[in-house]
Amino acid sequence: MPLTRETEGILCARTFTALPRGAGLVNAGRGGHLVEDDLIPALDRGQLSAAALDVFREEPLPLGHPFWHHPRILVTPHIAGITNPVTAAPIILDNIRRLEEGRPLLNQVDPADGY
């Protein structure tokens, strides 16, 4: 999901309350999707049972951040989307050739869409 005005802060107290009690949260999208101040209270009161977080508003996550020490939060080092060189290399090579030939590139990112 892109980080846009519509998705900024979408993972918040309101969303957590709408989930079944004890739901788990996985955020491997964008750090800005999560309202960080809403997560620990939702975990502590049992609304959420656990959270696995791969992305953060500030990366790398600062050493003193409370997410590192909370027993129901798993912090991973932005590894959700591992690039496989065997499958990525042909795509990159194809785009280099397209660029050299003046053809449109594949898989372009549009910053206006937020990703």
Q: Which residues are catalytic?
A: 30, 78
User: Is cis: bond before 60, omega within 30 of 0?
Assistant: yes
Cβ atoms within 10 Å of 19's Cβ, excluding its own = 13
- For 10, 26, 73, the CA distances from 62, given in Å and listed in that order, are 22, 20, 15
Q: Are 9 and 38 in contact (CB under 8 A)?
A: no
